[in-house]
Structure 1
Amino acid sequence: MTNRALVSFSNTRWWSKQEVENNIALNFGQLSRFLELLDSRGIGDATTKKLLSIYKSDPLKLKVSFAAGLDGLLSMLKTTYELEGDRLEIVLAFRRIETLRAYGRQLLSVSENRGLLPNVDVVIRMSLEPTVGLAIKKEFAGHGVFLGKIMSIDKEDTGKWWYQIEYGDGDRETMDIEELRAFDLTWTCEACYDCTHSYLVFELAQLFDPSFGSLKAGEIDATWVQRLAAIVPLAREAEGSLITKLEGELAAYITLASGFCCEHNDVDTFSDAVLSWWRNNGTEIPSWSLAARIVFSLSPNSCTSERVFSLLSDMFGDKQIGAMADYVQATLMLRYNSRL
Structure 2
Amino acid sequence: MKPRTAAVLILNRLNNNLQNCDREIDRIARQENFSHSDRQLLHNIIKGVIQNLSYIDFLISLTYKKNIKKLERAVLNLMRVGIYQAMLLKIPSYAAVFETVEAAKEICNLEVAKLINAVLRNLPDRTQIERELSRLPEIKRLSVEYSHPEWLTTKWIQQFGKEEAIELLRFNNSVYHPTFRHNPAVISWEKLKEMLLEQDLNIKETHLNGFHFFHTDNPARLLKSNIFKNRFCSVQDLSQALPVFLLNPAENETVLDCCAGPGGKTTLIAQLVRNIKVYANDISLRRLTLLKNELKLLKLKNVELLKLDAAKSRFPRIDKVLIDAPCTATGTIVKNVDIR
In the superposition, the TM-score normalised over structure 2's length comes to 0.25
Q: TM-score, normalised by structure 1?
A: 0.25
Which has the larger Rg?
1
